[in-house]
Amino acid sequence: MQRVDNWVTRFEEGVLAFLLAAMTIVSFTQVVARYGFNSGWTGALEFTRILFAWLILFGMSYGVKIGSHLGVDAVIRLFPKPVFRAVAVFGALCGVVYALTLLWSEWLHIFGLDTRGGAIDYWSKMYKIGIGLDDLRYPDAIIETFGTKERVQRWIAYLILPIGLFLFMFRCIQAAWQIITGEREMMIAAHEAEDLVAENKDVLKD
Amino acid sequence: MEAAILFILVLGFLFLGVPISISLGLSSVLAIAIFSNDSISSVALQLFTASQNYTLLAIPFFILASAFMSTGGVAKRIIRFSIASVGAIRGGLAIAGVFACMLFAALSGSSPATVVAIGTIAIAGMRQAGYTKEFAAGVIANAGTLGILIPPSIVMVVYAAATNVSVGRMFLAGVVPGLIAGLMLMIAIYVMARVKNLPAQPWPGFKEIWHAMMEAAVGLFLMVIILGGIYGGIFTPTEAAAVAAVYACLVALFVYRDMGPLSGIRWVQEEDGPLGLAGFKTITYGFTAMFAWSGIAGMVTDRQGFFGIDSAIVLLAALIGYPLLRGRVSPAELPSIYGVGAKIWGRNIGLIIWKFLPAMFHKDTKKVMVDAAKTTIMLMFIIVNALLFAHVLTSERIPQAITDWMVGAGFNWFTFLIAVNLLLLLGGQFMEPSGLLLIVAPVVFPIGMELGVDPVHLGIIMVVNMEIGMITPPIGLNLFVTSGITGMSLVQVVKAAAPFVLILLMFLILVTYVPALSTWLPYSLMGPEIITNR
């Protein structure tokens, strides 16, 4: 189980590093192409933006896993231990409600709310219509060999929306369970630089 | 009514330890589900489209550049340069600490990173020189906040994205206030040093200053790329950020070599001898002088090509003049030092080409990428949800209601700015700066425009408020960081930082009521800001 876990972490970190690197390289080469060769790739900006969206939406679940999402812990730390734990579980469950509502809002019907739509609904609509993105085109070779349409379909770019939200929900459920079993204290990081401080803890202490 | 419920929901979630991003996002989603007939599909889609904002695209690149610049060696070089240049003044080490924080802030947009990078070295140095730990910690905790005021600054990018003000003007607007804030801290330290009779460092001589500056210059050139590129119209701010990230990566891996496969391999080896060093310096300074000259000449005159005949003259003059005047080389030795210098350069270029791909896939590089990605995600997820929240606020016409009320209540720009300062100082105690800015800006910006406040000036006021929020309890990021690295308790750090916080509060009043401090530089260089978003 530990090995699978390590493998998953390495996969997640690899994907995140790749997305960030790809964004940077594409943007940089665009500048070089414009000044050096007076040319450019029309799809570059749209491609970078999609990578950026993928970075955020794929990464948000990783953020839950490593506990890097910021929150305020000053108040709940004043509560007695059992209450603190219950509130911490509540925090994680809020994440579940958030993701589930955005994925498939019709579950709120049990509270008598008249909601509709959600990421899954939207994505399947896009899949059925099959319209393409504004600028991003398939290379000619792919169009010829696979007989695809000229533009990359929107549903491919939007695929991360249901996947990211689903992973986010999964990680929140996992976090809630870990808090219940006592493996983890809470879901949030109290401040942005927790890792940085932990690395340099007391380096200047006498 | 709906507005009240919305704010109560957010604050309730926030204080119950729900992550800030989810507090904002969940409240917005619930508000839409309960009060409006909009489909949740469009809300979900907003998570995707929020990141399509071109201005916000600069954030991951700035974070990446700052991550590469925070890998150790840059901070050391900046501190060496700072101590060499201002250390000889009374209280010099503390003044140098402030100066180092200012320079580092120009490379990295992050305050905690500045405190850790500069603080770990500078506080130890000050302790050895006989300063008290409290004084040292107080200085660095405060000077570290300049990170978000001196460009490039992520908070400014966020403000620009929220209000459609130009990023370039915001960056330039931060320069003068950043210098003034630094100067005010330095003067305060100098006065304290006089009173407490704190030590001064020995005068290091111009040679040490020059050497230290040359070493730091490669890193500090990043600032020239960003500000020069944006102001010169060469790139958009987003492109400048991407170029800066690539530059920072190359400098960290191949020039400073603090990380990656080349770490520990020096440009000039021991066995090259003094002649080799002179030759290497001759060639390096010669070509640097040529590029600098051509760049300046290209800006001043309107010639077509980058190089002219004058570039060649500068190159020749430097190649012959430097070794004869500075390198203690006789004219007969000139050819041989060119040979050795070229050999050293050839060896290093060969090494860089040979190790280029291994360096790109080295574990150190990957670690920096993953760290930058983590920070980006944490920040952007808050921003995305704050945008969602701001969208709900606007669609409920809450900003208009508040504007009408405030204008009706007889606020003028003077009292309005007091109200903004109080609101932000209070909010800054509990919220992450970027998130707070995105929530407050849509409400405050239209009122400011109505009352005739300059958009760039308003932005700088907000940034200075965020700065002060970082060093005031209960939730001050720089206090946590300083307390973490020094092992002092939070209360001790708060006490240590307090005298300098008073100075920053004075600075806030100055910035608030002297708009020219913020607006003079950007408007004289780039023309006035056109308000597009009322």
pLDDT 10s digits, A158-200:
999 999 999 999 999 999 999 999 888 888 887 777 777 777 7
Across-strand partners of A153? A132
Give the domain ranges of chain A: 2-200
Across-strand partners of A137? A151
Q: Mention every residue, 6+ apart, whose C-beta is less than 8 A from residue A90.
A: B16, B17, B18
Alpha-carbon gap, residue B213 to B431, rounded angstroms: 38
Among candidates A28, A118, A188 on the partner chain, residue whose Cβ is nearest the Cβ of B242: A28
The arithmetic mean of pLDDT across residues B396-400, rounded, is 83
In the predicted structure, residue A205 carries a pLDDT above the cut 80: no
* Of A187-196, B217-226, B436-445, minimum mean pLDDT range: A187-196
Distance from CA of B373 to the nearest CA of A (A): 6
Q: A69: closest CA among B119, B369, B284, B14?
A: B14
> What's the confidence (pLDDT) of residue A41?
84
pTM, full prediction: 0.92
Chain B residue at shortest CA distance from A120: B41
> What's the confidence (pLDDT) of residue B525?
84
Alpha-carbon gap, residue A184 to A179, rounded angstroms: 5
The SS3 assignment for B385 reads: helix
Q: Report DSSP state, residue A70.
A: B
In the predicted structure, residue B447 carries a pLDDT above the cut 80: yes
In the predicted structure, residue B345 carries a pLDDT above the cut 60: yes
**Residue B471 sits at the chain A interface (C-beta within 8 Å):** no
In the predicted structure, residue B469 carries a pLDDT above the cut 90: no
Distance from CA of A150 to the nearest CA of B (A): 22
Q: Mention every residue, 6+ apart, whose C-beta is less than 8 A from residue B479.
A: B141, B470, B471, B472, B473, B490, B493, B494, B497
> What's the confidence (pLDDT) of residue A1?
67
The arithmetic mean of pLDDT across residues A84-106, rounded, is 92
Confidence band (pLDDT; 50, 70, 90) for A24? very high
The arithmetic mean of pLDDT across residues A116-139, rounded, is 85
Alpha-carbon gap, residue A156 to B520, rounded angstroms: 47
Give this complex's ipTM.
0.93
> What's the confidence (pLDDT) of residue A102?
92
Say if residues B218 and B126 touch (Cβ distance below 8 Å): no
Alpha-carbon gap, residue B272 to B286, rounded angstroms: 19
> What's the confidence (pLDDT) of residue B332?
78
- Two tokens, residue A79: 């509560």
Distance from CA of A144 to the nearest CA of B (A): 30
- Two tokens, residue B447: 């009122």
- Two tokens, residue A41: 């790739």
> What's the confidence (pLDDT) of residue A148?
72
Say if residues A132 and A154 touch (Cβ distance below 8 Å): yes
Q: Which B residues 245-264 touch A at CB under 8 Å? A: 245-246
**Residue B330 sits at the chain A interface (C-beta within 8 Å):** no
Alpha-carbon gap, residue B241 to A24, rounded angstroms: 9
Which residues in chain B have Cβ-Cβ distances shorter than 8 Å to A76?
15-17
Chain B residue at shortest CA distance from A109: B33
In the predicted structure, residue B533 carries a pLDDT above the cut 60: no
The arithmetic mean of pLDDT across residues B394-402, rounded, is 83
> What's the confidence (pLDDT) of residue B72?
61
Confidence band (pLDDT; 50, 70, 90) for B327? low
Across-strand partners of A132? A153
Percent of chain B with pLDDT over 70: 99
In the predicted structure, residue B139 carries a pLDDT above the cut 90: yes
Map tokens 């060769």 to a residue.
Answer: A37
Which residues in chain A have Cβ-Cβ distances shorter than 8 Å to B481?
193, 196-197
Please indicate whether residue B149 or residue A199 has the higher confidence score (pLDDT): B149
Map tokens 């050391």 to a residue.
Answer: B76
> What's the confidence (pLDDT) of residue B502?
93
Task: Tell me the average pLDDT of chain B.
Answer: 87
The SS3 assignment for A153 reads: strand
Contacts 24+ apart (CB under 8 A), B405-408: B406/B447, B407/B447, B407/B450, B407/B451
CA distances from B456 to A97, B213, B400, B509 (A): 39, 33, 21, 16
Confidence band (pLDDT; 50, 70, 90) for B277? confident
> What's the confidence (pLDDT) of residue B60?
94
Residue pairs spanning A and B at CB distance below 8 A? 253
Among candidates B17, B48, B119 on the partner chain, residue whose Cβ is nearest the Cβ of A188: B17
The radius of gyration of chain B's CA atoms, rounded to the nearest angstrom, is: 25
In the predicted structure, residue B7 carries a pLDDT above the cut 90: no
